Every structure is written in structure tokens, then in C-alpha cells.
Amino acid sequence: MHTVFAVSFWFLSAAFVAAQTADQALLDARRITTSEFAAQQFGPARWLDGSHFATLEPNPKSNAIELVNYDAQTGVREVQIGAQSLRVTGRALPLQIENYAIAPNAHEYLIFCDSERVWRQNTRGEYFVVRPDGTSQPERIGGKLPMSSLMFAKYSPDGMKIAYVSNNNLYVQSSHNGEPLQLTSDGSRTVINGTFDWVYEEEFDCRDGFRWSPDSSAIAYWQLDCGGVGEFLMMDNLSDRYSRTIPLQYPKAGTTNSACRIGVLPAGGGKTVWLQTPGDPRQTYLPRMAWHPEGKELMAQWLPRQQNRLDVLACDVASGAVRTVHSERDDSYIDVREDFQWLQKGAAFFWTSDVLGYRHSFSVPWRSGGEKKLLTPGDYDVMGVPYADVDRSVLYIAGSDGNATQCYLFAVQDGTATRLTPKDQPGTHTYEISSDGGLSIHTYSSFDNPPVIDLVKLPSHERVRVLVDNQALRARYGKVQKGKNEFFQVTTKDGINLDGWTMYPPAFDAKKSWPVLFHVYGEPWSQTVLDAWTIKHHLFHRWLSQQGYVVMSVDARGTPAPKGRDFRKALYQKIGITSSHDWNQAVLALCSQHSWMDPERLAIWGWSGGGAMTLNMMFRYPTLFAAGMSVAPVTDIALYDTIYQERYCGIPQEMPQVYRDCSPITFAKGLQHPLLLVHGTGDDNVHFQNSERLFDELVAQDKKFEYLAYPNRSHSIQEGRNTRAHLYGSLADFLQRRVAAGPR
């Protein structure tokens, strides 16, 4: 590399990626990036009814993954698909089940294997029909379609057919030795049927793009026309001596979106009826749909490009005509609703909304003449809805009980919320509840305690049995040298109460002066201050604490904490501004409260939105931190995608000043202290272009910096041998060179 700003990290980080030590108390870059501290998982589990569930488990003798059923009450286990049932002629090893679906008649299974990654997840692969009676070997579906090209295969409600996507076209075939029937023929690189483009997948979490009708006669599906969407070219310099470009259709803020529409076609083939949703399909979004129980209408959620209005549309599947059932508006933006479900056999639907200032649940009539009913009154946020049977007056919600770092289960009856999670289990709890609401697979963990998964009765929360105790992990992690942890609240000069946590070094002495590394995210996508086992960066922070750093994090306004609508939406058109303002005040307040914090040895680091926040703090408040480490940052928000950036900042052509003021690169000239920039050159999410443009600006401003580019690595920077260990080792190396460890 021919620049004075580049550093050979292979040399500098050697001390931090040493071979695993025999001393189990001490961590290093390799230990924290292996599976040594990975928690045992359970599932994916599927409730079969109110008292039985299916799950996947390894066969200890053959290493095959088997599908088993459990009687939840008695624990009686029955293998449904064993290793012998997974053998296929021409394959040396049994099929490795990655996911599965159970036929409506429960006499056969559809298993997913040989998967390949599509953007974030492995959603393309092979599907086999397996009959557990052993009368035949697994039957591959898809006919002569290319290997590992099938996506989202699923049974029709009557169990007679299976539909799936291949090469952006929809297919259907009989579940019993049928040949594929191609339902759409216009699928191409730019016309996508039954699945989604990059931005819908990334920002609306849309992947599976079709739905069977209740009577199995028709399929509703999304179609996206990506023609005209800007093509971003990523560069591959590793595959050959000559570089090659990797094209990616990616709509940057203010540019052309894909045209999106929803159609309905007969399952036996025929003409598509397109829904007559309002507006220009390139200036509107259709992120959710569901069949009405009667099968004559579809529910579709519709948003304009500004995402400040959300309409629930009733769509006639025969004519395509639509009517608005429910509409909401917000001065900032509205999030797509994930917890929609039908009530009263389709006479009403379940809905959550921020319209009252807190996120609450409602029953909304499907047809005119009904009355919307508030189900969860009170000054609290509904953080999730794991179970709702409003017709039987059973409603279980996730809530915080006044502590935004934790999450518990509550039962709501007659408007009163009663906590069901035991008081002696602090932390974060999630629930997979049975179809009748009487049992749940329950997972709980806390900041430094790995998850326990058990089966509980509801509403009593009586434990039936432990499913996963993670005792082996608990024992391994128990040998690691640790200081104490604590959660805190800090009040800014503006009177805003913010949550935070601290991880102390093992030999912490409050009478001495210590360096502090702050971990930041600071955008609407996630919280960092959670009382939960989130191992992603936890071990890295624990390793740094062993080296003599206090590690802290704070959730500023704009993070999705259960503190009401105004707290969560405080970043609207002020992304990077309000959060950095809060952070500045929070850090200054903490320094004034704790004499052990060395104001000359404060550092900050973050990834993605946290990388951008690191830059905001280093540029906007240049005297606060002695060093910063920014990984995969958005440096100019106009370089990010339409759905995310326009949701929070408006459309750049209409709000040029907002885009200027919210972009870290605008304030690069403020840099005064050492900065490390890290980015994967194959990042399809936050393009390497972001860092390159910042490099260019810092050079123009005569600002010295260091950078580390990981060739062909994506946004997660984890592909390739030794990558994550090298990354964490390099971050630790930079920190030690720039901010001295240990007490003074």
C-alpha cells in the first residue's frame, strides 16, 4: 500500500492474536472468535398443537440432524425423520436438515438443505419431501431446475401442492411425484417474482414473497421491477489476476426505487390479477400482506415513499379493487407493523401503534361500522406480542416493567397488565407460545449469564422442564477472569435520562485513574444497553477489560428503547445530531460523577451506524475522545439506501441541508485525535465507497488517520480464514497504541 496513512496490522497486531493460552482465565483474539463460548441453541422448534412440538436435534452416533417430536407435558420423544430416512441414492452422507415444514396432514415433511447465502441469509437451496414411514427415499422437488436454486418452498393449506421460487419465477407442483408447473415466466435479473430486491430484504425484512390462499386455489405474490435502479459496482481483486466487478442494484437515497406490486394468480396456472394499490409503484411501498380468512380479499400494508403514513388496504382478489380500512399518520415516520393478525374470524384485526405516545395494541374492525378498541391502556410500550387470542380474552405482551434494558412477559386482561415472568429472573425473556396459549418455550438470559431455555406453563409460569441449560458454557465462561458489571442511568444537562452499562477490569480500584472505551451504536435499528447475553462484541469487551480498560455503553435518544414514541423518534431529520449531542452530555456527566475516569484516556468505537456515530463524536466533539475506531461506517448518508435513510431523514432533493448536517463527512475537518477506519471492500450494505470518500476528505483536510481494508469481506467482516480474530486483534492493537491501558 502506497500511503503514509496505511499501517501493517499483521505486524502490529501480532501480540494480540497469539495462540490460545493454556490459562482459561485469560482471553485473546482467537479464543473470543471461536465457538468456545457459543451458546447451545434449541430448534428451530414448531408447535404442532397445544401440547406437542417438533424440533431438530443431532444424532450423537451419525452426526445427522434428525427431526423429532416431543410431548411437551411428559417429555416423551419420538424420532420423526431419522438418519436412515435421509439417505439419497448418489449421496455418501445423509441429507443435513437446515429447516423443515410439516405437511398439513402431518404424514410427510418438507426439508431444506444444501443452502446458499442470498445477501444476509441462506435462503436458496434444495428441498426434499420425506415420508417417515420409510416406504421411499427423500424425493427432491424442482424437477430439472438448477441445483440449490429453490427458495421458500411451502405446502398449500390442503397439503396437495408445493409452491416455490426459482430464478425469480414462481413454480408449483404436486407434493406426490409431480412435475413443476411454471406460474410466471417474466422473471429475470430485473423482474423479481415471489421474492425481493436488496433494499426490501435489508430494510423491510422481506424475503419470502408469496402466500397461498386459504382454499389452496390461488397464490398471491410480490413482483418487483428493478429496471432503472442504480447499479453499484463492487470490485473483486482476489478471484483472478484481473479484477472483476460485482454489480448490485442498490437504490441510494433520492434515486429510483424498484416498482413494487402484488398480484394473485390461480395455482393451476393462468392470468395474474394485479391489485390496484394507489400511487406510483416506484414512489410507494407494500411491505406486508396477508389473506383474509374467507379467501376473497388480501390485507396489504401501504406506505408512501416518505413513510409518514401507513394504510391498511382491503384488496379484492377477483377484481384488484382496493379500499382503505385503517390509516395512520405521523409527523416523522411510521414503522411497518409485524404483529398483524386476524380476530373474530376476520371481522377485525390486531394492530399495534404509537398514535397515543406509547406503542399500544388495538382491535380494529375490518369493515365499516365497527369500533376500534384499545386493548393495552397505560403509560408503557408494548415491545412485542408473542400471543394474542383476543376472542378468548387472552393477550400476552412483552414489556419492560419500567426498566428499558430488560424484557418480560405480561398478561393483559380488561386493560390491566400483570407480569408473568418471575421476579427472581431479571434480564431479557422471549417466548414461543403454543397454539392454545397454555405452554411456552421460554428463553432467558442476562448481561453476563448465558441463556437457559425451558418449558413453562402459562399463565402460572410454572416450569415443566429445562430444555437447554448451557451448563458447559456456564462452566467455561465461569473460569474467565472478570471484573464486576453494572447498569446505570445518567441524566444529561437537558434532563434526559439515558441507560448505560459498565464492564470493569478484574483489578479495578476506584481510587485510581482508568481509561474508558465506549461502545456506541446510536441509531434507530437497535439498542446496545440490554440486560441480555449478546455475545457478538461482549467477549471482545471482556478481553479489553482484562487488559486494563473500563468498557461502557449508553443508549441515547433515537434508539428503539421502550421509552415512548418521542424518545424513539427523536432522531427524525437529526440522525447523528441529537444522538451525538446526548452522548457528549452523557460522557461529560459521567466524568463529573466518577473521579476514576481519566478524561485524557477516553476512546470510542462502533460498527455500521455505530461507526458513523464514532465519526460524529470524533468530528463534532473533537476534544472529548483521545481515539476512535470506526468499523464499516456510513460517512455520507446520501450514499445509503432509500428505505432506511429517507425514513429517518426525508428525501435528499427536498432536504439537502438535513443530509449535509446529518453526515459525519461534513465535519471531518474537526478531527484532532487518532482515528482508525475499518471496512470490508465487498460490503454490499454500507459500501466501501463511504470510507474511500472519507479518506479523500481527510487527506484534503490534512488529517492523519489509519485504515484497514478487508478484501471482499461483507458488512459483517467475518468471511475468510482468521478474519474476525484479525479484526478484533487490530482494534485492540490500535487502542493500546493510542490510549494506554491500566490504572494510574
Position 10 scores a pLDDT of: 28
Domain-embedded: residue 488: yes
Residues 159 and 24 in one domain: no
Beta carbons of 613 and 605 less than 8 angstroms apart? no
Assign residue 607 the CATH number of its domain. 3.40.50.1820
Q: Are 397 and 382 in contact (CB under 8 A)?
A: yes
Over residues 203-210, mean pLDDT = 97
Q: Which residue has the higher pLDDT, 366 or 84?
A: 366
The answer to whether residue 639 scores a pLDDT higher than 70 is yes
Q: What is the pLDDT of residue 177?
A: 76
Q: Are 123 and 115 in contact (CB under 8 A)?
A: yes
Summarize the confidence of residues 354-383 as an average pLDDT.
94
Cell numbers of 382, please?
A: 408494548
Do 571 and 514 have their domain in common? yes
Beta bridge partners of 498: 490
Of the pLDDT bands very low, low, confident and very high (cuts 50, 70, 90), residue 385 is very high
Asked whether the beta carbons of 367 and 349 are under 8 A apart, the reply is no
**Which SS3 state, helix, strand or coil, does residue 501 take?**
strand
What pLDDT does 15 receive?
Answer: 37
* Residue whose grid cell is 417474466: 186
Question: What confidence tens digit (pLDDT) does each residue in 263-281 have?
Answer: 999 999 999 999 999 999 9
Q: Is residue 643 a contact partner of residue 649, using CB atoms and an 8 Å limit?
A: no
| Contact present, 640 and 687 (Cβ < 8 Å) | no
Cα dihedral 130, 134, 137, 140, rounded to 10, equals -10
Clarify whether residues 461 and 526 are in a common domain.
no
**Of residues 32, 29, 33, the one with CA closest to residue 736:** 29
Together in a domain, 692 and 564: yes
- Give a yes or no: residue 124 inside a domain: yes
Could you report the per-residue pLDDT of 296-321, keeping only the tens digit for each?
Answer: 999 999 999 999 999 999 999 999 99
Question: Residue 221: which residues within 8 A CB-CB, separation 6 or more?
Answer: 170, 184, 193, 194, 209, 210, 211, 262, 263, 264, 265
Task: Return the minimum-mean-pLDDT range out of 57-61, 233-237, 405-409, 473-477.
Answer: 57-61
Q: What is the mean pLDDT of residues 688-696?
A: 98
Measure the CA–CA gap between 529 and 536, rounded to whole angstroms: 13
Same domain, 377 and 278: no
d(CA 358, CA 400): 13
Amino acid type, 307: Q
Q: Using CB atoms within 10 Å of the CB of residue 239, give its burial: 0 to 12 exposed, 13 to 18 middle, 19+ buried.
A: exposed
Give the pLDDT score at 13. Answer: 36
Q: Is residue 347 part of a domain?
A: no
3-state SS, one letter per residue, for 319-338: CCCEEEEEEEECCCCCCCCC
Least confident segment among 171-180, 264-273, 373-382, 722-731: 171-180
What was the pLDDT predicted at 5?
A: 28
Question: What mean pLDDT comes out for the span 66-71?
Answer: 95
Within a domain: 49 = yes
Is the separation of the CB atoms in 193 and 173 below 8 Å? no
Residues 452 and 508 in one domain: no
User: Which stretch of 99-108, 277-286, 548-557, 733-742 has the lowest confidence by average pLDDT?
Assistant: 99-108
pLDDT of residue 22: 47
Total of domains in the chain: 4
Q: In what order do the strands lie in the sheet with 373-374?
A: 341-343, 348-353, 360-365, 373-374
Whether residue 192 sits in one domain with residue 176: no
- Cis amide prior to 44 (ω within 30 degrees): yes
Q: What is the mean pLDDT of residues 241-267?
A: 97
* Cβ atoms 443, 8 nearer than 8 A: no
**Residue predicted with more confidence, 120 or 373:** 373
Section 239-267 average pLDDT: 97
Quick check: is 3 in a domain?
no
Range of the domain at 399: 366-471
Report long-range pairs for 533-537 (Cβ below 8 Å, ≥24 apart): 533/39, 533/445, 533/446, 533/447, 533/448, 533/449, 533/450, 533/451, 535/37, 535/38, 535/39, 537/607
Give me the percent of the chain exceeding a pLDDT of 70: 97
Task: Determine the pLDDT at residue 105.
Answer: 82
Instruction: Evaluate if residue 96 carries a pLDDT over 80.
Output: yes
Task: Check: pTM over 0.85? Answer yes or no.
Answer: yes
pLDDT of residue 64: 86
Q: Residue 85 pLDDT > 70, yes or no?
A: yes
Contact between 229 and 252 (Cβ < 8 Å): no
* pLDDT recorded at residue 229: 98
Query: Helices (H) and strands (E) in the chain — how many of each?
Result: 11, 43
Distance from C-alpha of 313 to C-alpha of 328, rounded to nearest angstrom: 12
The amino acid at residue 6 is A
CATH of the domain at 139: 2.130.10.10
Sheet holding 52-58, edge to edge: 46-47, 52-58, 65-71, 77-81
Q: What is residue 445's predicted lDDT score, i.e. its pLDDT?
A: 97
Residue 494 in this model has a pLDDT that exceeds 90:
yes
Please report the pLDDT score of residue 160 as a whole number: 94
Q: Are residues 142 and 201 located together in one domain of the fold?
A: no
Q: Cα separation of 164 and 149, whole Å?
A: 10
Q: Are residues 13 and 63 in the same domain?
A: no
pLDDT at 18 over 60: no
CA 281, 284, 287, 292 dihedral sign is negative
Q: Are residues 248 and 157 in the same domain?
A: no
Is the pLDDT at 717 greater than 50? The verdict is yes
The residue-averaged pLDDT of 539-567 equals 97
Q: Sign of the CA dihedral 659, 662, 663, 667?
A: positive
Q: Would 611 be classed as within a structural domain?
A: yes
Query: How confident is the model over 667-680, as pLDDT tens digits?
Result: 999 999 999 999 99
Does a structural domain hold residue 325?
yes
Mean pLDDT of 111-116: 96
Residues 262 and 319 in one domain: yes
Asked whether residue 346 is assigned to any structural domain, the reply reads no
Of 7-16, 270-279, 298-307, 695-704, the least confident:
7-16
Choosing from 329, 357, 386, the residue where a domain stops is 329
End residue of a domain, out of 414, 443, 471: 471
Q: What is the mean pLDDT of the chain?
A: 94
Residue 101 grid cell: 415444514
Q: What pLDDT does 3 receive?
A: 31
Q: Above 80 in pLDDT, residue 17?
A: no
Question: Which residue type is seen at 93?
Answer: L
What would the pLDDT profile of 416-437 be if each residue is shown by its tens digit? 999 999 999 999 999 999 999 9
At 480, list the grid cell.
474467565
Same domain, 491 and 622: yes
Task: Please compute the mean of the pLDDT values over residues 343-353 and round it to a whole number.
Answer: 94
Question: CA–CA separation, 501 vs 586, rounded Å?
Answer: 12
- Mean pLDDT within 453-463: 97
Distant-in-sequence, close-in-space partners of 516: CB < 8 Å, separation ≥ 6: 549, 550, 551, 552, 597, 598, 601, 602, 603
Whole-number pLDDT of residue 535: 87
Task: Work out the average pLDDT over 115-126.
Answer: 92
Q: Model confidence at 489, in pLDDT bands (50, 70, 90)?
A: very high
Looking at residue 2, its pLDDT comes to 35
CA dihedral 471, 472, 478, 479 (to 10 degrees): 160
Q: Look at residues 430, 451, 471 and tell me which one is the last residue of a structural domain.
A: 471
